[in-house]
Amino acid sequence: MILEKEVLENHKRYSERKKLYQSHGFDIDKERKFVLDKAEPLFGDILEVGTGKGHFALILAKEGYRFTSVDVSEEEQNIARLNLRYFRLEDSVDFSIENAEHLSFENKSFDIIFSINTIHHLMSPLKVMDEFARIISFEGKIIISDFTNEGFEILDKIHAADGRIHEKANITLYDIKEYLRVKGFMVDQYESKFQEILTAYRPVV
């Protein structure tokens, strides 16, 4: 099947962006795979909150997982959809436009929740954590990752070169970790050079 022009053009932009990050020492695929490795084993119904341009969605789909991915931005999610379509993996993902502060899903409807490099964009991240706690199953896991200081420095440089400012909230993953602990979760923490990861789960009683 010949891929349509829009898919090819989108993939070209996607590849160029990956190369730009790579030129700063940041391997997007390697960092996303690091997050996935720390999240395993995965099971049950999987939700990704914050599709973005689909970097993590693509990793999940390539690993053979089927999952739901939500984002507040239809424009960003369309880029992700085109990326998945290029690799003929679009059917692996159920895309939906959602506000993470008020998710439409029923209580305890997911076993795994991912939120990758999204927390620093959120206006009310603790409200989002309340939603995660509501929709995660009793035996489920919440995996939250965001950039380290070195990762944010690279983002700032890339955005500055584009004439933009990469805005981020003041809340940190440490704040998220403590909040989840108060809500009764155990939280493990991992770190690479560019990514911090929290995996939260309820203790077995």
DSSP symbol at 183 = T
- Report the run of H or E that residue 195 belongs to, with start and end: strand 195-201
Domain 41-201 has CATH 3.30.70.2470: no
User: Residue 1: pLDDT above 50?
Assistant: no
Distances (CA, A) of 8 to 20, 75, 78, 88, 194: 18, 17, 14, 12, 29
d(CA 55, CA 51): 8
Name the residue ranges covered by the structural domains of the chain. Answer: 41-201
| pLDDT tens per residue, range 42-60 | 999 999 999 999 999 999 9
d(CA 171, CA 148): 13
- The amino acid at residue 50 is G
With cut-offs at 50, 70 and 90, classify the pLDDT of residue 3: low
Cis peptide, bond prior to residue 125, ω within 30 of zero: no
| pLDDT tens per residue, range 143-195 | 999 999 999 999 888 888 777 777 777 888 999 999 999 999 999 999 999 99
For residue 97, how many C-alpha atoms fall within 13 Å in the half-sphere facing its CB? 7
Query: Could you tell me which residues come within 8 angstroms of residue 158 by beta carbon, excluding any fewer than 6 positions away?
Result: 20, 21, 24, 166
Average pLDDT over residues 23-47: 94
Q: Which stretches of the chain are DSSP H helices?
A: 5-23, 28-39, 55-62, 74-86, 125-135, 149-161, 173-182
- For every residue of 147-158, DSSP letters joined together read E-HHHHHHHHHH
| pLDDT tens per residue, range 53-92 | 999 999 999 999 999 999 999 999 999 999 999 999 999 9
User: Residue 2: pLDDT above 70?
Assistant: no
